Structure 1
Amino acid sequence: MIDIKLINIEYIVVAMAAMILYLLYYVFTKDSEFNKNIRSVASVVEDLNREIFYLKKELTETKKSIKSNSSRMSDEEIYEEVERTTYDMVKPLSLGVKRLEETLITIDEQMNSRIASLESGVKQISIPTSVHGNDDEKIISLFKQGVSLETISKELHISKAEVEFVLKINKIK
Structure 2
Amino acid sequence: MKKQLCFIVMSIVFVYIYSSYSCINEIKRKKYIQNTHEKINNNFSLERMALKDETLSVYEYTTNSTGYLLCEGIEKIIWTNNFKYIVGYIELSKQGLCKGYFYINSNDEKDYKFNLTKKEVEEKFGKDIKYQKSIDFINIFGGNSFNEENISEIISFYELVTFFGSILLYILLNILNSIMYIIKIKE
When normalised by structure 1's length, the TM-score is 0.31
RCO (CA 8 Å, sep 6+): is it higher in 1 or 2? Answer: 2
Q: Which has the higher strand share?
A: 2
